[in-house]
C-alpha cells in the first residue's frame, strides 16, 4: 500500500477534499494512506511563525527552512525508508499521466506545499528529490496542486478503482483521448446512441471505440496523435478518413 505525507500550512483544506469520493473510500478501505501535517506544528518560534521577509528585499513572505525540515524529519522517523520527496512548484516538470503511473508504484511519497512567495531554497536543496508543477500558471499555494497529484496518482493504486481497465482505456493512458461515452436512455432529445454500442458485438465495439479515440485525438489534440503509438490498422483507418475528407 502506498503512503503519502503532505506537509502544508493548510491541512484542513487538504483533508476536506481527501476524505471525499473515491480517494476518501480508498483511505477508509486501507488501500491508500494519506497524512496531512501542519508545518506550523514544527516551528520552534514562540509566536508559531513559519515565514519571514525575503533576504535582499522584495514583496511577500518566504516559508522558512527549519519548520519544514523538522516536519520532514518527523515523517521520516515513522517510515522504514526515505520517502520520495516532491515540492509542488510552478518551476517543476509538468505532471502527466505517464508520470502519475510511475509515482503510483512508489511506496512512500512526501509532498511539500509552498505558500506566499515560496520556500527557502536551502531546505529544497536538502530534502527535495524533484519539483512537480500542475501547469504553467501560478497558484497561491501548493495545496491544490498536491490534491491534484494525490487524486491522479491515488486512483492508479492497486484496488482503488474496481478494475485496471477503468484507467487503461482512459484519455492519456496510451497517449490518445478516450472515445465518447453514452448511457440510458438510448434516445435523448432525438439523439440516438451509436448503433454499434447496442449490438453486443464486443469486437466491433472495441474497433469503433479505437477509431473514435483516433478521430477525436486528431480533432482535439493533434499534437498527441502525432506522438501516439499507432498500429498498422490505426494508420490505415486514418489514411482512409483523410482521403474521404479531401
Q: Which is nearer to ligand SAM, 127 or 225 (CB)?
A: 127
Give the cell for residue 231: 498500429
Q: Which is nearer to ligand SAM, 153 or 176 (CB)?
A: 153
Site membership for ligand SAM, residue 56 (CB under 6 A): no
* Cβ atoms of 173 and 97 closer than 8 Å: yes
| CA distance linking residue 223 with residue 94, whole number of Å | 16
Give the cell for residue 205: 465495439
Q: Candidates 31-39, 115-123, 176-184, 216-224: pick the segment binding ligand SAM (CB under 6 A).
A: 115-123
Q: Which is nearer to ligand SAM, 7 or 177 (CB)?
A: 7
Site membership for ligand SAM, residue 152 (CB under 6 A): no
Site membership for ligand SAM, residue 67 (CB under 6 A): no
Counted residue by residue, the chain has a size of 246
Site membership for ligand SAM, residue 133 (CB under 6 A): yes
Phi, psi dihedral angles at 244 (to 5 degrees): -65, -35
| CA distance linking residue 85 with residue 132, whole number of Å | 10
Min separation Cβ 134 and ligand SAM, Å: 4
Q: Which is nearer to ligand SAM, 103 or 179 (CB)?
A: 103
* Segments of the chain assigned E as strands: 2-8, 32-38, 51-52, 62-63, 84-94, 108-113, 130-133, 187-188, 191-192
Site membership for ligand SAM, residue 117 (CB under 6 A): yes
Using CB under 6 A, count the residues that bind ligand SAM: 20
Contact footprint for ligand SAM (CB under 6 A): 88-91, 113-115, 117-119, 133-135, 137-142, 145
Amino acid at each position: 500500500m502506498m503512503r503519502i505525507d503532505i506537509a502544508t500550512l493548510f491541512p484542513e483544506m487538504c483533508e476536506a477534499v481527501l476524505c471525499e469520493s473515491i480517494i476518501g473510500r480508498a483511505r477508509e478501505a486501507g488501500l491508500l494512506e494519506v497524512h496531512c501535517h501542519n508545518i506550523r506544528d514544527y516551528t520552534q518560534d514562540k509566536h508559531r511563525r513559519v515565514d519571514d521577509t525575503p533576504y535582499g528585499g522584495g514583496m511577500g513572505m518566504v516559508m522558512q527552512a527549519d519548520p519544514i525540515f523538522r516536519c520532514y524529519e518527523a515523517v521520516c522517523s515513522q517510515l522504514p525508508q526515505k520517502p520520495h520527496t516532491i515540492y509542488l512548484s510552478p518551476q517543476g516538470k509538468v505532471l502527466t499521466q505517464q508520470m502519475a503511473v510511475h509515482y503510483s508504484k512508489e511506496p512512500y511519497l512526501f509532498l511539500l506545499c509552498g505558500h506566499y512567495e515560496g520556500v527557502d531554497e536551502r531546505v529544497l536543496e536538502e530534502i527535495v528529490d524533484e519539483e512537480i508543477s500542475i501547469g504553467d500558471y501560478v497558484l497561491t499555494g501548493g495545496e491544490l496542486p498536491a490534491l491534484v497529484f494525490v487524486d491522479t496518482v491515488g486512483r492508479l493504486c492497486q484496488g482503488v478503482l474496481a478494475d485496471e481497465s477503468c484507467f487503461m482505456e482512459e484519455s492519456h493512458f496510451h497517449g490518445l483521448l478516450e472515445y465518447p461515452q453514452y448511457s440510458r436512455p438510448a434516445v435523448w432529445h432525438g439523439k440516438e446512441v451509436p448503433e454499434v454500442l447496442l449490438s453486443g458485438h464486443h469486437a466491433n465495439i472495441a474497433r469503433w471505440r479505437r477509431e473514435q479515440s483516433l478521430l477525436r485525438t486528431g480533432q482535439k489534440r493533434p499534437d498527441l496523435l502525432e506522438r501516439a503509438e499507432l498500429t498498422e490498422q490505426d494508420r490505415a483507418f486514418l489514411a482512409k478518413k483523410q482521403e474521404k475528407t479531401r
